[in-house]
Amino acid sequence: MDYVEGFTLRDHLFEQGVLEPSEVVRYLIPVLSALVAAHKMGIVHRDIKPENILISVNGRVKVADFGLAHGELLGNTMTADSSVIMGSVSYLSPEQVLRGVADARSALYSVGIVAFELLTGEKPFIGDSPINIAYRHVNDRVPPPSSLRSGVPASLDALVIRATSVNPDDRP
């Protein structure tokens, strides 16, 4: 992997608390472009989170840590036993929790969770244990970011809600 002089999106979020909607869009468009390129090659990242989004000192955005990625080109060396949930629980899609499967729609769910966190400064689901958080991904709905922070455009609210739909077929 290339060395990226800069910081992670988690670092930036920690320093800023929340990001302006325009900044969220500016960072997430290249993330989505990178995921589209990976998906066209049959590779699903499976661990999208702010720690895995790198921002160089000149503002270039890169998606890092394909260590949990899955796809035909990667073979089986990077996949896990089907009884193990892979990925960071705060960003797991419902289908990853329920069936241990992930596809492009799962990555989009994770991007929606990241967008929510960047806009509000909070993860949509918290709990006493990882299993409690995973349960909430399956049974609860992500609230619109504007319910926690004023000034979020309705279009961004709608996009986050649609991207984090429990039903993968309802995601963009």
The residues carrying an active-site annotation are: 47
- Give the C-alpha distances (Å, rounded to integers) separating 120 from 104, 124, 150, 151: 25, 9, 9, 11
Percentages (nearest 5) of helix, strand, coil residues in the chain: 50, 10, 40
* Alpha helices (runs of H) in 41-166, residue ranges in sequence order: 94-99, 104-120, 130-139, 154-163
11, with CB counted inside 10 A (0-12, 13-18, 19+), is: middle
- Give the C-alpha distances (Å, rounded to integers) separating 157 from 77, 97, 153: 38, 24, 6
Write out the two tokens for 54. 């790198």
